[in-house]
Structure 1
Amino acid sequence: MADTSTDAGLAPRRRPGLTTRLRYRLIPDHLLGEILAKPWIDTAIPAIILAITIAVFAALTPDFYSASNLGNLGRVLGEYLIIALGQAVVILAGGIDLSIGSIFALCNFVGIFLVFTAKLHVLLALPLVIAIGGLIGAFNGYLIGYLRLRAFLTTLVTLIIVRSITDILVVRYGSSLITDFDINGIDLFDWFADGSVFGLASSALVALGLAVIFHVVLSRTRFGWHVAAVGGSRRSAFNAGIKVRRTVFLTYVISGATTGAAAFFYVTRLSATGSSTGVGLEMIIITSVILGGISLGGGRGSILKAVLGTLVVVIITFSLLRLGLASGGSSVVLGAILLLAVVIDIRWNKNRHKLLNRTYASPTLLEMPPMPDIAEGSSSPYARRNRLDDVEVIGKGVLDGPEDIIIDDEGNLFAGTRKGEIYRFFGPDFKEFEVFAHTGGRPFGITVDRDGSILCCVAGAGLYRITKDREIIALSTQTQRSLTSIKDDSRVRMADDLDVAPDGRIFYTDPIGRYDASEWLSDALEGRGTGRLLCFDPADGSTKTLQKGLLFANGVCLTHDGQAMLVAETWGAKIGKYWIAGPKKGTWEPFITDLPGYPDNINRASDGTYWVALVGMRSKAFDLALEMPGFRKRMIRRVAPDNWLFPNTGTGCILKFDEQGNTIESYWDRPDGAWPQITSMCEHKGRLFLGGVINDRVGVLTLETADPDWTQYESYWGGKA
């Protein structure tokens, strides 16, 4: 084959040196982008701050790790954390609660009165104290949620009013509340005060249990999703049908109730009340939540972040007191921490995505083999031969982007569309049609199973079966997660093409691992190879990754002997073979390595060979750019991805190759012809049916030398269509 890697007037192509090859082979540039893209990266910041805090104060504080110090620290932590959980819910919904210090003080007073004066049993006093806190929270929630008052001003007013009521009650009744320690439920009272489980203080144990519950509610329930939606954009949440006012109301009820619960632990621990109880508590809790990484603007954060932030603030506050720093000094430190937390929140939220956009796209070195000669009239098997002039048309004006097509056991043609429908055209003339199914996503690869049902790859969703009764059944939407993968490779991002083995296993491709289906062009520009060949086994319902690192894994076809799967690597311009049976079972080997274009779907031919569609043609400019990662990284920032590849996809081409990987025929459309970007073909009874991802019809080409009785279904299952 001729080497067309140089043109007249152009300097000879300079191959990358050994140093460049080793640099891109050994240094994983993409890891930084992968890490920055993870949701947990926000949690890493408070985790690092916590680790530094523990290290510093463990060195400064005598007996930091002693049982007594950790026990006292745990009791304070439990009380603060319970309040912080409620505050976190409020802030996640886009609000703020400044009244928690006053609510804490009033609930503390009520708790002492119920236990020591009214002599209620502890199990009765606890829910009543929580109810008092919840009622005050409901007052805030009603004003802010339903009357739409400002959260900051409303809770500030509530702080003043409730604090005034508490001061009046303390002055009038404080000295007469505790007459004796004859408590109903003294054992339970003592456990709340200083009990522990495996060394963990009772309040901390309850707080951690509540943290787990809150995490589940916020991340796995409808209410939690509503809270995040309201915090992200109240107008959008309202337009989506979420009851915004009720959601806001409930967040303040939760905040008040958790504050009441924490106040009851304070009652059991100190059994004291005064005008200074809870003063400044709101600053401590808000600092904890914001330092943990929950955004003041709402809609971004997690319970784990609230836990980490609270740990940091409690350790600092408690340790400063042990070191003898005056309370005023502690307030100064907390104020500085709050200011730092706000700065970090604003700056990180503003710049994280900028940094991610600069680092995520990470082109690597990809050396393409010399492009074979495609000149018309040459002796190359790829030479241009315009053989698609006399193509008949099916479904023109009805179909929109039939990326793949198949003919079932009854001789009916099925084709997917851009809008998610699968059309059925009734054979043998294919003039009558109907919408067979709505997949809910873009259907790509489709094939027919032994029972005549349609198997379909839906981009962004996974592998589905559509029965003859039109029932849509999800078969495979994720695979097993690799323990060593930094990215979530369990997710099927873009199920593309598929084929079925004789034993019923379904093999399908997931072309991209770093981008979503809509960003497939970015994967081409990177040249990194994140595609996979997957296998769904209906016997046990499992999905496993068989081969990784493929350059946009695309078309899949079972060989005629049933021993292997042929897999197209689109951006590598090559086809590989994965053995599924026989002595080579489980191994991968190159099959065709130097195609002149980008292979898409593959299908069997009636003479024991195979068809493959070329969705686009290679260009020398793009091949050269693949050897210049730095150049591509700069171009990604300056040139839209479609300007790189779309000019190469204007010509349609189908190749025919044999069992040894030799190309034996080529069918080209004219450069300005009616069949650009052919993505699939299906031979049936002497005719070749053509699909295209941007076309509005299916083409039909008569094959003069093909078997007029051969069908795909019969080739696989022995039946007759």
Structure 2
Amino acid sequence: MAVSDQIVRWRYRLVPDHLLGEILTKRWVDNAIPVLILIVVAAVFGWLIPDFFSAAGISSLMRQWGEFTLIALALMIVMVAGGIDLSVGSTFALGNIVALTLITVAGWPVPAVIGATLACGALVGLVNGVLVGYLRLRAFLTTLVTLIIVRAIVDMMLLKYSVAIAAGFVDSDLWYYFGEGDVLGVPFSVATALVLALVAHLVLSRSRVGWHVLAVGGSRRSAHNVGIPVRRVICLTYVVSGTLAALSGVLFASRLGGAGADTGVGLEIAALTAAVLGGNSLGGGRGSAAKAIIGAIIVMIMVNGLVRIGVTRGGSSLLLGMVLLAAVAIDVRWLKNRHKFLSKVYVSPTYSELPEAPATSGSSPYALNDRLRPVEAIGLGQIDGPEDVILDEDDHIYVGNRTGDIVRFFAPDYTRQEVFVHVGGRPLGMAFAKDGALLVCIGGMGLYSIGRDRSIRKLTDETNRSWLSVIDDSRLRLADDLDIAPDGRVFFSEATVRYEMHEWPVDCLESRGNGRIICYDPNTGTTRTVIKNLLFPNGICMMHDGQSFLFAETWACRVSRYWFDGPKKGTVEVVIGDLPGYPDNINRASDGTYWLALVGVRTPSLDLALKMPGFRRRMARRIAPDEWLYPNINTGCVVRFDETGRIIETLWDFGGENHPMITSMREHKGHLYIGGILNNRVGRLKLDGMDPTWSGIDSYWRRT
């Protein structure tokens, strides 16, 4: 290897380029920037004001934060549903004046005061909800008008009751506890805000109501089309918003015991800044209570810090407005360009060097021929994409279909067919268990078992997660092929942990080693990963020793052997390391050898590009995906080899006229049955010199 190639290889091995794309796909990334802003803001004001985070300062700040957080939560709930509520500041002031009037002037008991005040806030929210949700008025203008009307009501109540409120005295420990008490050392307002934030989180993430709110915020038309009561959901969010704002006003009234004309003025701007700065989207469909909490902390630190360093109220409002403008700009740009940016950074090719491709001419064991030309077609035009093919003890053929069906062709002439079972996902590799159940790898779903009575049972759809992996590799994305050990353990390949079923060619562009082999043990019901970092592992076939299996790595163009039992347990040995094409499924032959499908042949251009990760990265960023350099998968081949890797025979469809793309083959009673994920038929080829009574089921389970 040249020095330059070695440098490139180590650069891409040591620098994990794919981590950036993986991190940006995580939902918690939306919280990362707000948390970073919080750290910066806290550090700046902690440095400017030496005693800013003293015990007394934090205690005073926390009580204000609890009340303010309720306002941020109120606005967050409306924003998640795709709306906005500019009346929260006025509703807060209304809650404050109503609570003080009822408890000092009217002399109502504390529970009645709280209930009536919350009802007033809910009424304001209901008015907003009816106007915006049911009458479909613009949320911005509607809540702006509500702000003005409610503020006018507050001013009228101040003119009438402010003197009486100032002269009154509340003789209730419970009332003062709301504003000055604590729960296990935590101010009551903070405890209330945290409890309600937890409730909001659980509702949004764990309940049907929460899912409806998120769906409405994501797309109201789509939510309506699936039967969600969009108008009622929108109305409900405004009612909750008004109630939370009024509750915050009650806590404020209990703490200060006074009302003024400036109470709640500008609070909606501060709350909106907190909600957006925390990462809640103005476009709806994206938000959480945690984001509202983070944003509320940032804004409270900024406001109190500016006051303590002597910035006037106008200057503080100016800074908040600038912060809000920046947050809105970031939110809009990020929401608009997130997927575009991800498409440029997610695909992260690495250095991959294949051994020199063997010749396919002359005396080479891979020499081209037309031995697949006599293949007869079964079910021509009646199936779509039979990736794998298998036969039962009655000689019936089973194949997967692109539409999510497993189709059965009846022996002996295979002219009659039926949908054996509908599995929903994309059926890939199949194998018969000892009890006659058909085990199937289903792309995007996992490993399933289909009983003789056609009952469908999920065996597993997840495995153990890697402790140090940024990728959530516990979920199975692309379970591909499988085989069953003598003790019943199922070993199956997952081709890639980064890409879904329809994106599998992109994994070749990366050639990073995103695949693995997994073991499902039916005796314990456990699933675990046994081999990682494989280049698109595909076919799996148990060897006759009962202690090892063969597996193919498609993008590495090699076949290896893994011992899962015996003296060499846990070791991997390369059996064929320089195939001329891309290996797929592997199955047993009647003479003790093995059949291997080559899904396509290697090309010098792609082999060269695999050693140029920079070139592939630029290609992924600058060229449309349908113009990327992909493997050649339109020339099919079947290879037979022994356990040492010696090639015994090769069967080509030269020119790709009969079976241009082969992903699997299965020997059964003197014939070879051929499948292909891009074909519309099952091929059958009569084999000369092979046992006409042999079947795979007999080979595995020794039936007589």
TM-score, normalised with respect to structure 2 = 0.96
State the shift of 1:410 in Å.
4.0
- Do the aligned partners of residues 553 and 642 (structure 1) sit closer, same or farther apart at CA in structure 2, a change above 3 Å counting? farther
Greater Cα offset, 419-428 or 222-231: 222-231
Q: 1:625 to 1:250 in 2, by over 3 A?
A: same
Q: Output the CA distance in 1 between the equivalents of 2:337 and 2:170.
A: 59
Q: For the Cα contact (< 8 Å) 1:189–1:268, is it kept in 2?
A: yes
From 145, 150, 153, the counterpart of 1:162: 150
Correspondence for 1:426: 410
- Identify which range, 429-438 or 133-142, moves more after superposition: 429-438
Provide closer, same or farther for how the CA distance between residues 122 and 663 of structure 1 changes in structure 2, counting only shifts above 3 A.
farther
Aligned residue number for residue 8 of structure 1: none
Q: Report the CA distance between 1:678 and its aligned residue.
A: 0.7
More moved, 469-478 vs 683-692:
469-478
Of the structure 1 ranges 416-425 and 237-246, higher mean CA displacement relative to structure 2 is found in 237-246
The residue that corresponds to 2:591 in the other structure is: 607
Alignment of 1:498 with 2:482, yes or no, is yes
Corresponding letter in the other structure for 1:139: V
2:272 aligned with 1:286: yes
Matches within 5 A, 1:194-233: 194-233=180-219
Q: How far, CA to CA, are the matches of 1:654 and 1:200 in structure 2? A: 72
| 2:367 equivalent in structure 1 | 383
Match of 2:634, SS? coil
Compare 530-539 and 33-42 and name the one that shifted more: 33-42
Hey, what does 1:401 align to over in structure 2? 385
Question: For residues 199-237 of structure 1, what are the alpha-carbon distances to aligned partners after superposition, in whole Å with 9 as ceiling and x for unaligned?
Answer: 432211221222222122222323222222222222232
User: Does structure 1 conserve the Cα–Cα contact (< 8 Å) formed by 2:444 and 2:476?
Assistant: yes
Is 1:469 equivalent to 2:457 in the alignment? Answer: no
Instruction: Name the SS of the counterpart of 2:137 in structure 1.
Output: coil
Distance 1:646 1:284, change over 3 A: closer
Find 1:175's aligned residue among 163, 167, 173.
Answer: 163
Q: How does 1:233-312 map to 2 (within 5 A)?
A: 233-312=219-298
Q: Deviations over 1:525-558 (max 9, x none)?
A: 1111111111122233322111111111111111
3-state SS of 1:57 partner: helix
Task: Tell me what 2:686 maps to.
Answer: 702
Aligned residue in 1 for 2:600: 616
Mapped partners of 1:718, 1:281: distance in 2 = 78
Structure 1 residues 178 and 452: CA distance shift in structure 2, 3 A? farther
1:78 paired to 2:66: yes
Q: 1:367 aligns with which of 326, 331, 353?
A: 353
> Can you list the C-alpha shifts for 1:490-509, whole angstroms capped at 9, x where unaligned?
12111111111222222111
User: Shift of residue 459 of structure 1?
Assistant: 1.0
Contact between 2:619 and 2:628, CA under 8 Å: does it hold in 1? no
Which residue number in structure 2 is paired with residue 141 of structure 1? Answer: 129
Would the aligned equivalents of 2:463 and 2:527 in 1 still touch at CA under 8 Å? yes
Distance 1:461 1:127 in 2: 50
Query: Does residue 132 of the first structure (1) align with residue 150 of the second (2)?
Result: no
| Contact 2:103-2:170 within 8 A present in 1 as well | no
Q: Check the 8 A contact 2:155/2:261 in 1, yes or no.
A: yes
Q: Distance in 2 between matches of 1:516 and 1:706?
A: 39
Shift of 1:39: 2.4
Q: What letter is aligned with 1:536? A: Y
Once residues 400 and 15 of structure 1 are traced to their aligned partners in structure 2, the CA distance between those partners, rounded to angstroms, is: 48
Shift, 1:117, TM fit? 4.0
In structure 2, the partner of 1:626 is: 610
**What does residue 344 of structure 2 align with?**
358
Instruction: Give the conservation status (yes or no) of the 8 Å contact 2:384–2:681.
Output: yes
Aligned-pair CA distance for 1:448: 1.3
- The secondary structure found in structure 2 opposite 1:387 is coil
User: Within 2, Cα distance between the matches of 1:87 and 1:644?
Assistant: 45
Q: CA RMSD in A?
A: 2.0
Match of 1:665 among 629, 649, 655: 649
CA 1:121 to 1:447, structure 2 compared with 1: closer, same or farther past 3 Å? farther
Residue 619 of structure 1 aligns with an amino acid whose one-letter code is T
Residue deviations 1:293-324, cap 9 Å, x none?
22222223332222111110011112222333
8 A contact 1:558–1:564 mirrored in 2: yes
| Contact 2:104–2:164 (8 Å) recurs in 1 | no
Distance 1:523-1:345 versus aligned 2 partners, 3 A rule: same
CA–CA separation in structure 1 for the residues paired with 2:112 and 2:570:
66
Separation (CA, whole Å) in 1 of partners of 2:469 and 2:575: 28
CA distance in 2, matches of 1:272, 1:687: 92
Paired with 1:178 and 1:532, the residues of 2 have a C-alpha distance of 73
* 2:205–2:211 contact (8 Å) kept in structure 1: yes
Deviates more, 1:194-203 or 1:115-124: 115-124
Please tell me whether the aligned partners of residues 112 and 178 of structure 1 are also in contact (alpha carbons under 8 angstroms).
no
Q: CA deviation at 1:641?
A: 4.8
Deviation at 1:243, TM superposition (A): 1.9
SS at match of 1:532: strand
Where 1:457 maps in the other structure, the secondary structure is strand
Distance 2:19 2:105 in 1: 63
Which range is displaced more, 360-369 or 290-299?
290-299
Deviates more, 1:467-476 or 1:189-198: 189-198
Instruction: Tell me by how many angstroms 1:595 deviates.
Output: 0.6
* Aligned position for 2:308: 322
- Return closer, same or farther for 1:357/1:642 CA change in 2, 3 Å cut-off: closer
Match of 1:527 in 2: 511
Q: What displacement does 1:430 show?
A: 2.8
SS in 1 for 2:418: strand
Establish whether residue 151 from structure 1 lines up as the match of residue 139 from structure 2.
yes
List, as ranges, runs of 4+ consecutive aligned residues in structure 1 with deviation greater than 6 Å. none
AA of the residue aligned to 1:597 = G
Tell me how far apart the structure 1 counterparts of residues 564 and 651 of structure 2 sit (CA, whole Å).
Answer: 30
Distance 2:481 2:248 in 1: 56
Flag structure 1 segments of 5+ consecutive residues without an equivalent.
1-12
Using the TM superposition, name which of 331-340 and 415-424 deviates more.
331-340
- 1:489-638 to structure 2, matched below 5 A, reads 489-638=473-622
Aligned AA (1:216): L
- Residue 271 of structure 2 aligns to which amino acid in structure 1? I
CA distance in 1, matches of 2:607, 2:303: 61
**Cα separation, partners in 2 of 1:716 and 1:195, compared to 1, 3 Å:** farther
State the SS of the aligned residue for 2:492. Answer: strand
Q: Which of 36, 56, 61 is 2:49 aligned to? A: 61
CA contact (8 A) 2:101 2:161 kept: no
**Separation in 2, partners of 1:238, 1:357:** 30
Alpha-carbon deviation of 1:622? 1.1
Alignment pair present for 1:45 and 2:44: no
Q: How far does residue 198 in structure 1 lie from its aligned partner after superposition?
A: 4.5
Shift of residue 354, structure 1, vs aligned partner: 3.6
Counterpart of 1:340 (choices 301, 310, 326) is 326
Whether contact under 8 Å (2:65, 2:190) holds in the other structure is yes
Question: Whole-Å Cα distance in 1 between the matches of residues 151 and 627 of structure 2?
Answer: 65
Amino acid at match of 1:473: R
**1: CA distance between counterparts of 2:251 and 2:148?**
24
State the Cα distance separating 1:46 from its structure 2 match: 0.7
Q: How many Å apart are 1:645 and its aligned residue?
A: 6.0
**Partner of residue 648, structure 1:** 632
| SS class of match (1:152) | helix
Distance in 1 (CA, whole Å) between partners of 2:401 and 2:458 is: 19
Deviation at 1:95, TM superposition (A): 0.9
Residue range with higher mean Cα deviation, 597-606 or 542-551: 542-551
**Structure 1 residue 90 and structure 2 residue 74: aligned?**
no
Percent identical? 53
Give 2:297's aligned amino acid: L
The separation in 2 between residues aligned to 1:269 and 1:380, in whole angstroms, is: 90
Partner Cα separation in structure 2 for residue 642 and residue 502 of structure 1: 44
**Judging changes above 3 Å, is the alpha-carbon distance between structure 1 residues 582 and 181 closer, same or farther for their aligned structure 2 residues?**
farther
